[in-house]
Amino acid sequence: MLVVQSREARKFTADEIYALEVVAMVLAEMAELGAFVGEGAALSPLHQQSVLLRGGPAQEGSAEGHVWLHEPRVVVTNPIAEDPKRELERLSEAVDELRVGVDKMLEISQNGDKEQLEVLEAYRMFANSKGWMRRMEDDIASGLSAEAAVEMEQSQARARMEQVTDPYLRERLADLDDLSNRLLRILTGQGKTDSADLPPDPILIARNIGPGDLLEYGRSLKGIVLEEGSVGSHATIVARALAIPLVVHVGRITTEALNGDHILVDGDQGVVHLRPEETVVGAFRDKIAMQAKAQERYASIRETPTVTRDGTRIDLVMNAGLMADLPSLGNSGAEGVGLFRTELQFLIRNQMPKRSELVTQYQRVLDAAGDKRVVFRTLDIGSDKVLPYMKHVEEPNPALGWRAIRVGLDKRGVMRMQLQALIRAANGRPLTVMFPFVAQFEEFRQARWEVNKTIDREKRLGHALPETLEVGAMLETPSLAFAPQKFFDEVDFISIGGNDLKQFFFAADRENELVRRRYDSLNVSFLTFIERIVERCELSDTPLSFCGEDAGRPVEALCLAAMGIRTLSMRPASIGPVKSLLLRSNLQDVRKIISDARHRGEQSVRPAVMEWLRNQS
């Protein structure tokens, strides 16, 4: 920030403001390069001191490693133009190279879908924009180098982007931002790295990242830190599937970090230590060592049935969405897959997968699971899960909009294709299917009718039918808990989708950092609501499970079990800690503590339960 004072109050002209912006940018670049660092200088060297950054935890775990920038930052080393004519030539050559690259992208995508081509056409229009080129030429004429001129225009585009609320315009300005990054890389030669340059312990740093890019990195990553992102994004889903610690909403991380920087990621607390001091590194390594010892202890009880001290059996199953998850089925001690997310195979592609491809994928899942039960959740898209090849519908509140089973019932061809693929993959074996986001009985009836119709069609075609078929529903909206009793009689099983149910119950968006932490899962009202669902299921003897982040948190899992939940579905790494606590707990005692806290009028039972646990150890 450049501060200018004037002896007399006056309004600066547009030219004066522009000149000050140029001076500020040049000074910033010089500070970045260390021009003001040294003996007697006021500034300390940038990108050398230790930095503590805070964000939001999206995937638990701790990791130590070295920074790998998904899109390496380009540092402009020559902000001033010594030869403006040569700088104009360099800019022109770089823009020509950029345009050739965009044209090649279009050629490769000619056989792609219409919307993808339209996006690339708009991208090419920006690359050929005369106004964009003219503004950069004017910046060079004012004394900037070609790189500094590009960065100047990029900064102004980003400033405009911050003020635009329209999603379409923001995407177009993001295209311009991406073009500027490409142009800077061409001009400077920086950032031209590939996966072969990855450090042995990479911590991925990015503004944001899609599921496809993240899957390309795979399990080689030790951790992920995003400047944007969210707890329900595609990247978070993949990170959870791969059990990679993830922290989101970490401001300034892409500008503070450089490739190769030492970094510590605490996914439990949402904290990032960049270029940490030795004392911090020591404490962090002690924490990782303690976690490793705990995992060894959990491994010793892997084959032990989860039976509490009062003799209650709890089934612990795992969530999955990728083939990479399936080895965890045996290693974690999970008794089955309580939720297999089928949408990931749709999200990471540029076009709709073929039925034969889905059949192969689902067969591999069932083969890997062996005789253990796998619950396939049908396509859960919409809200934050947008298919790149499906027309995006702008909605004022996507979480409450056209998503999951609502999309399936409106796009029945897609639902039928997936059901056919699941039946053929089962090939005579047991099959369990679950429909997401069911809000009313009629939606489940229509979906069940589609299942029956597909079974009849497959029988006529001579395909092997499942040995047994279970069709269930996810209870993610409070409305379904008050459905007619006939719904509970007809459905084969119910799985409480805790993440969505909690946000709708408390009217608190789990993506909104301002409100999502205000509401406790052990709130008396929420636990009473869970207890009511348990009672309704017991009336019709309907199997009930709880699926979500809270199922994998030991204290929350203990309270859910005390409320009557007998199956908990969680990420594989959580099974050990949850089982360890359940094995040494008496659910009758916990239920009494919850009941007493409720009668005292306490808002949350957490303090009382934590006090009881402290006295038990």
Q: Which of 70, 234, 273, 463 is catalytic?
A: 234
Least confident range from 28-32, 304-308, 490-494: namely 28-32
* Cα gap 571→325, rounded to integer Å: 9
Task: Tell me the whole-structure pTM to 2 decimals.
Answer: 0.70
Q: Which residues lie closer than 8 Å to 229 by C-beta, 6 or more apart?
A: 58, 208, 209, 235, 236, 246, 248, 249
* Cα gap 212→349, rounded to integer Å: 7
What confidence tens digit (pLDDT) does each residue in 585-602 have? 999 999 999 999 999 999
Give the pLDDT of residue 473.
97
Distances (CA, A) of 202 to 63, 159, 231, 283: 10, 31, 22, 21
Q: Which of 262, 547, 559, 599 is catalytic?
A: 547
- Quote the tokens at residue 49: 């001191």
Mean pLDDT of the chain: 84
Beta bridge partners of 68: 204
Helices (H), 142-256: 146-163, 167-188, 211-217, 234-241, 253-256
- Selection from 330, 424, 342 nearest residue 370 by Cα: 330
Burial 104-114 (b: 16+ CB within 10 A, else e): eeeeeeeeeee
Q: What percent of the chain has pLDDT over 70?
A: 83
* Cα gap 450→447, rounded to integer Å: 5
What confidence tens digit (pLDDT) does each residue in 251-274 have? 888 888 888 899 999 988 889 999
Q: In which band, very low, low, confident or very high, does the pLDDT at 4 lie, cut at 50, 70 and 90?
A: confident
Q: In which band, very low, low, confident or very high, does the pLDDT at 384 lie, cut at 50, 70 and 90?
A: low
Give the pLDDT of residue 210.
65
| Polymer length of the chain | 617
Element (H, E) at 320: strand 315-320
- Quote the tokens at residue 260: 């190769």
Least confident range from 5-9, 362-366, 394-398, 610-614: namely 394-398
The DSSP-derived string for 429-475 is S-EEEEESS--SHHHHHHHHHHHHHHHHHHHHTTPPPPSSEEEEEEE
Contact 79, 25 (CB under 8 A): yes
Q: Which residues lie closer than 8 Å to 146 by C-beta, 6 or more apart?
A: 81, 87, 88, 90, 91, 94, 136, 140, 187
Establish whether 537 is a catalytic residue: no
Q: What are phi and psi of 137, to 5 degrees?
A: -65, -40
Establish whether 559 is a catalytic residue: no
* Cα gap 553→567, rounded to integer Å: 14
* Cα gap 148→145, rounded to integer Å: 5
Structural domains in the chain?
51-72+193-291 (3.50.30.10), 84-188 (1.10.274.10), 503-541+543-617 (no CATH)
